Each structure stands twice: as structure tokens, then as C-alpha cells.
Amino acid sequence: MNTLLLKDTPADTAQAGAIIRDGGLVALPTETVYGLGANALNAEAVARIFAVKGRPADNPLIVHIAHVKDITPAIAKMDHRAHQLADAFWPGPLTLVLPRGDALPDITTAGLDSVGVRMPAHPAALAVIRAAGVPVAAPSANRSGTPSPTSAQHCIEDLWGRVDAILDGGDCAVGIESTVLSLLDAQPVVLRPGAVTAEAIRWVLGSPVSISPGVLAPVSGEAQTVSPGVKYRHYAPGVPLTLVRGDREAFAHYVNSLPAGSGALVFEGETEDLSVPALTYGRCDDPESQAERLFDALRRLDSLGVSRVYARAPQSEGLGLGIYNRLLRAASFEVIDLAKNQGGGPDRPDRCG
């Protein structure tokens, strides 16, 4: 099919909104990653999202709104906690899982009784949703299993000729997907970590928040049903990846003694330590820069021409937990812990410098 390339202008965001309202698919920028948007109330349009992405039918979509008052058709009710969190973090990178509304077709929520809803912060996304006049279902605008897109170029690589339009709104400021927080039970649960941290949520609610076991380990059975996304291969680069926990020196020593055909993914300024081909993802002591660069780096690992890449693990607190979670999945949970082997301080094995 013919794909339109749209810009972040009033005329083009209006056109993108009209395409979505009429049942089409538009890849659009948000502050987290690019989303593939369709009318969340239109089962046929949503079915096309699943087909184009090759997304398993039991992985629910996040529904995007431009005003809190527009949440009504998507959800059944918003409790006090949901209002507090929406006030504090919307528009922004926090998805709230709430009881679903009757207006949503089953396909949007993958048949669940709940739905993830968020108000994105990118002005172009808000303009498109307003112009569409409907809630917009939008998973990441990539082919299922590949790293999420953080630029219009990434969307073009994955979706050109498969969607009605791609709207270029520049590079995504955050770079990893939203925090997903379930409010279905008495205690809120982080199902996927992102830029809105569990600490920040705890602070706003003034009560405990738990982290789903699926954030740091493979899960099966009941835990998969709670957060269906966790059971699928995610963010897989074209070349196999191993995550390595260890400081700069230990990492370089380890990687430089590997057989030929190995490559590395490290922080800026660290490639000079290495005798293997390497790419970088942000600065060691700056998780914002790591989140922003991560998916683009994962997409370019093939260019190293190696048969396995060893990635230096980020610190896993705050936003770092979201980055660590994406890298763990990209590495299919294959982790080497140098700090453990070398007795180098279990609390900060991945320290900078």
C-alpha cells in the first residue's frame, strides 16, 4: 500500500487524526517511543495493527487519550488513586491499567477485563488524538519482537508500505516505553518499568507499590496472564546479546579476552578500552541518555559484523530499572555477573569510572 510521510504541522496532524478516525493506521511520535495508532473503538482497524506488527493476539494494546475527560468510553471507572496519578504524571510516560469500559472491542484489550490507558506528552500525539476524536490504540510502531522505534526512520524501516501514514515528529525524548502500573488490586503493581519510577508513584500515593516478578526474571503461568506482554521475546537485535554486569575495567578485561567475532555495547568514552568492534548507548552516569539511545543502538548492532555482542549493564535503580529490563529481554535473560566472580561489591557491580 501507499504510505504517506507526514510532518509535525497542524495540517498534517489533522490529516493523521482523520485517517485514524476513518479506520486507518498511522505511526506517530510520542515522548516514549513511536506508536502505531488506530481507532481503539474500531475492531477492524485494531485487527490491522495486530496483522501489520505480527503481534500475538493475546498481547493487549495501550489506549491513548488527549484529555482525562475522554477516558470514559475506554474504562469502567477511575478510582481516587488513578485520579491522583493522572494529576501528577499525565500527560507523561505512565500507563494505568484499569477496569475496561464496554465501548472497547475485545480485540483492543486482548479479551481482558482491564485496559491500559495513558495520555502521551508529545504535542503531535496529542494533536492527532484530538483530531481523531476517538481513543487511539497504539502499541509500539515496530514489527513484533524487534527493538521499539524511537525515530521516524525506524518506523520507515519496519512499516513502509504497510501503514497509511508515518508522522515524523523527531527523535523520542524518553526512548523507552511507558511505565505500566496495574491499579486492579489494593496494592498497585509495576508491570513494566519506565521513566515514571516506582519511587515517584509511591511518593504521590503515599502507600506501597510492588514490582512484578516479570520485570527482572522470566515468568510463567499466572504471572503471564496478569501482564501478557512479558512472555514474548522483545527488543531482539539481529545478533545475539549477552548482558555483562561489571565495572568499566572488569568489562574491558573480560571482553578483550573473548574469541574473535565478539563485539560490545558500552557507554560513551569506553570504546577506547576495547579491542573489539563496539557501539555505545549514552553516558554511564546518565540513565536519561541511555534510555534515549538504547533502541537505536540495538537496531544498529548488526553493523558491527560480529556473531555475539556483550553489553555493559546499566545501574538498575530509578529509570535504570527500565533500561535494565529492556536489555535483559534483548539478551533473552542471558547475564554474566563479573562482580560476583571477582568479589567486586555486589551492591554496585556496574559502577561507572
Considering only 18, 23, 59, 258, the residue that binds ligand AMP (CB under 6 A) is 59
Least CB distance to Mg ion at residue 53 (A): 8
* Site membership for ligand AMP, residue 212 (CB under 6 A): no
Pattern of binders to ligand AMP over 229-248, x per CB under 6 A? x-------------------
> By three-state DSSP, how is residue 81 classified?
helix
Residue nearest to Mg ion (CB): 140
Least CB distance to ligand AMP at residue 37 (A): 11
Least CB distance to ligand AMP at residue 59 (A): 6
Which of 64, 27, 23 is CA-nearest to residue 45?
A: 23
Among residues 140 and 197, whose Cβ is nearest to ligand AMP? Answer: 140
* Site membership for ligand AMP, residue 158 (CB under 6 A): no
* Site membership for ligand AMP, residue 191 (CB under 6 A): yes
Query: DSSP E strands: which ranges in the chain?
Result: 4-7, 26-28, 35-39, 62-64, 94-99, 114-118, 136-137, 165-168, 179-182, 189-192, 210-211, 241-245, 262-266, 278-280, 308-312, 335-337
Residues 20 and 37 sit within 8 Å (Cβ to Cβ): yes
Among residues 82 and 250, whose Cβ is nearest to ligand AMP? Answer: 82
Residue nearest to ligand AMP (CB): 229
> By three-state DSSP, how is residue 308 classified?
strand
Q: Which one of Mg ion, ligand AMP, none interacts with residue 42, CB within 5 to 8 A by kind?
A: none
Distances (CA, A) of 39 to 12, 74, 290: 17, 11, 32
Count of residues of this chain found to bind ligand AMP when the rule CB under 6 A is applied = 18
Number of H helices, E strands in the chain: 12, 16
Contacts of 61 (CB under 8 A, 6+ apart): 40, 46, 49, 108, 109, 110, 116, 137, 138, 139
* Site membership for Mg ion, residue 140 (CB under 5 A): yes
Q: Which one of Mg ion, ligand AMP, none interacts with residue 63, CB within 5 to 8 A by kind?
A: none
* Site membership for ligand AMP, residue 109 (CB under 6 A): yes
Q: Which one of ligand AMP, Mg ion, none interacts with residue 197, CB within 5 to 8 A by kind?
A: none
Least CB distance to Mg ion at residue 268 (A): 26
Least CB distance to Mg ion at residue 192 (A): 10
Q: How far apart are CA 181 and CA 89, in angstroms?
A: 12
* Site membership for ligand AMP, residue 149 (CB under 6 A): no
Among residues 255 and 330, whose Cβ is nearest to Mg ion? Answer: 330
Q: Return the sign of the alpha-carbon dihedral for residues 130, 43, 111, 16.
A: negative
Among residues 52 and 255, whose Cβ is nearest to Mg ion? Answer: 52
- DSSP secondary structure, 106-125, as one string: HHHHTT-SEEEEE----HHH
| 340 Cα distance to chain centroid | 29
Q: Which one of ligand AMP, Mg ion, none interacts with residue 318, CB within 5 to 8 A by kind?
A: none
Least CB distance to Mg ion at residue 56 (A): 11
208-245 burial, b for 16+ CB within 10 Å, e for fewer?
Answer: ebeebebbeeebeeebbebbbbbbeebbbbebebbbbb
Among residues 118 and 312, whose Cβ is nearest to Mg ion? Answer: 118
Among residues 140 and 178, whose Cβ is nearest to Mg ion? Answer: 140
Least CB distance to ligand AMP at residue 234 (A): 8
Cβ-in-10-Å burial (0-12, 13-18, 19+) of 84 comes to: middle
Binding site for ligand AMP (CB under 6 A): 59-62, 97, 109, 112, 114-116, 139-140, 177, 180, 191, 227-229
